[in-house]
Amino acid sequence: MTGAHVPVAIIGGGQAGLSVSWYLSRAGIDHVILEAHTPVHAWADSRWDNFTLVTPNWHCKLPGYAYDGADPDGFMTRDEVVAWLDGWLKTFDAPLRTHTRVTKLTRRPEGGFALTLQTSSGTEELTCENAVIATGGYPLPVIPAYAGSLGPAITQIHSEQYRNADQLPDGAVLVVGTGQSGAQIAEDLHLAGRQVHLAVGNAPRVARFYRGRDCMTWLSDMGLYDRAAAQYPGGKAAIEKTNHYVTGRDGGRDVDLRQFAVEGMKLYGALAGGKDTTLSFEPTLRAALDHADAVYNSICSDIDVYIERESITAPPATRYEPVWEPETEPTTLDLAAENVTSIVWAIGYRPDYRWIEASAFDGAGRPMQTRGVTSVPGLSFIGLPWMHTWGSGRFLGIDRDASHIAATIISGYHESVLRLAVGS
């Protein structure tokens, strides 16, 4: 492809980038998808064995394709999601180049972009008028700097590397973080009979089912997934918080860290640091549990208001009551004394757009965009959390976001063609 030019280059062959391709193909816009691995590989390669969606199956909607199975209110497993996505890929012919990594993107003086590609055959060059960045919200796993100071006998992995309890050495496991991945991995290990120590973060939680329906179905009916980020209650601070933890496993249920403690899991506050085999924690456990439960009950209250306003017949309202309270705030953990042989870091990811040479990022390295469109002509993003609404980055919102990005590109393409025609 060295020296080749294409109107649109989509960098990333996940469901977001492929969705933009679906719309461009229908409009007859020449383009290419550049994928470093294989299409939608992350679903098969970065989820643990017992992974399930946390959103109901009916949320699964992509361009021209929606879940139509027998369990719309259930939760697909990892393998079922992979099969569902494979079915979608067979419905259109995406111009996809796999095992092609974009290592550099720069703006050209005459307009558009120059891309450097790394392939199995070597380095290639490509130019384009429009570049759609579909590499995911935050691709680099976060592991704290002090992890390297811990004893070498301790096995350490990031949550994206976790597959099952058997991959870890015998002994207890420390899971750090209680976002969606951390809470569910802690449960997975707990159900496998492992002694789990859990460093609890500030993530909120939500009821799986409430008043006869899945909470996420209620929230969808209430319009929360359609509300633009700028109009969301609580503003920017609210949308930057960690997602609520809950699970779709075994048909769906709450994730109750207090109940885990009753059953023998050992809970701590936020992990502050560590060296050799000694870890230190902030005395934040009680506050973190109380906060998560307060959000849980607040969401239930919002649903109550909606049910009342819409005169919906539903089972009576309830509230979560704590089943366990910490007697003390543990601030240290001796890994050797507790036979903790492994740590799963589930503290998230960070952005990495160092390969993009364009003034499209804020001081934290995050794209400055409005519905995915940046101030840099021809540069846009897709698949970011809260790119437009709470649904952005999820199956429920990808189609709408992709349609908008594609429409923006198509409009600009037609204007360019018209200018050329007039000029000639």
CA 351 to mean position of chain CA atoms: 12
Q: What is the pLDDT of residue 418?
A: 43
Q: Is the pTM of this model over 0.85?
A: yes
Q: What is the pLDDT of residue 252?
A: 98
Do the Cβ atoms of 244 and 184 come closer than 8 Å?
Answer: no
Do the Cβ atoms of 95 and 13 come closer than 8 Å?
Answer: no
Count of alpha carbons within 13 Å of 201, Cβ hemisphere only? 22
d(CA 247, CA 126) in angstroms, rounded, equals: 43
Do the Cβ atoms of 369 and 384 come closer than 8 Å?
Answer: yes
Q: What is the pLDDT of residue 424?
A: 47
Q: What is the pLDDT of residue 413?
A: 77
Q: What confidence tens digit (pLDDT) does each residue in 374-394 have? A: 999 999 999 998 888 888 888
Q: Name 101's bridge partners.
A: 118
Q: What confidence tens digit (pLDDT) does each residue in 127-151 have? A: 999 999 999 867 789 999 999 999 9
Structure token pair of residue 97: 């180049």
Do the Cβ atoms of 48 and 162 come closer than 8 Å?
Answer: yes
DSSP string, 89-154: HTTS---EE-S-EEEEEEE-TTSSEEEEEEETTEEEEEEEEEEEE-S-S--EEP--GGGGGB-TTS
A 10 A CB-CB count for 70 gives 6
CA separation, residue 169 to residues 146, 173, 174 (Å): 22, 9, 12
Do the Cβ atoms of 208 and 145 come closer than 8 Å?
Answer: no
The parts of the chain modelled with pLDDT lower than 50 are 418, 420-422, 424
Which among 288, 272, 291, 290 is positioned nearest to 331, based on CA atoms?
272
Close Cβ partners of 102 (under 8 Å, ≥ 6 residues apart): 9, 11, 34, 36, 115, 116, 117, 118, 355
* CA torsion angle 286 288 291 295 (round to 10): -130
Q: What are phi and psi of 328, to 5 degrees?
A: -135, 170
What is the CATH topology of the domain spanning 4-139+351-423?
FAD/NAD(P)-binding domain (3.50.50)
d(CA 81, CA 173) in angstroms, rounded, equals: 28
Q: What are phi and psi of 25, to 5 degrees?
A: -60, -40
Do the Cβ atoms of 65 and 39 come closer than 8 Å?
Answer: no
Close Cβ partners of 251 (under 8 Å, ≥ 6 residues apart): 74, 75
CA separation, residue 161 to residues 29, 44, 157, 199 (Å): 38, 12, 6, 19
What is the CATH topology of the domain spanning 141-345?
FAD/NAD(P)-binding domain (3.50.50)
Domain ranges of the chain: 4-139+351-423, 141-345
Same fold, 4-139+351-423 and 141-345: yes
* Three-state SS annotation for 391-420: CCCCHHHHHHHHHHHHHHHHHHHHHHHHHH
Element (H, E) at 293: helix 285-309
Do the Cβ atoms of 179 and 192 come closer than 8 Å?
Answer: no
d(CA 271, CA 274) in angstroms, rounded, equals: 8
> Coil, strand, or helix at residue 65?
strand
